[in-house]
Amino acid sequence: MLAAGPETVVLEVAEYHPDSDAVHRILTKPGVEYAAKSLSAPLTKLAIPREKTWAARNFAAQLLSDYGETPFLAAARAFVEEEELEPDPTVFIKSVTIRALIPLEKAGNQSWLYCVTLEIRLGEPEWCAGFVVGRKYVARAFPTADWELG
């Protein structure tokens, strides 16, 4: 956790599982994720394609949920209980911005694994409470996986 402010949480995420190229999937446009051009060299553009904003929000929601008990996680659980629906990352995450991108190594499918700095803007300022700057933790997240609330 690099920062936690009035509406934003900033995380540094290092991908380490060889089959989990989440950042690559978020940063490449649909249909070209595994084209030779996308795999030949590490990505350098930080902009998330419009078609991938939901996936980026879902990824961020999963990362923040694995942090532990916070107002963010409590709000997501309350939403599920009240609405009797699956949690919707677009309700809880306003935006995800990539501030920095460092290639680490090739993934198992020939894409790349990255260390990425994510700025995550939450839906409500009070949901930032409970996140502690400097705290390190392990999370499991994937842009197209279900958002599990644990």
**Mean pLDDT score of the chain:** 90
Q: Please, what sign has the CA dihedral across residues 50, 39, 109, 31?
A: positive
pTM: 0.92
Neighbours of 142 (CB within 10 A): 16
Q: What is the pLDDT of residues 131-150, one digit of tens each?
A: 989 888 988 888 888 888 86
Q: What is the pLDDT of residues 60-99, one digit of tens each?
A: 999 999 999 999 999 999 999 988 888 889 999 999 999 9
Mean pLDDT of 30-57: 89
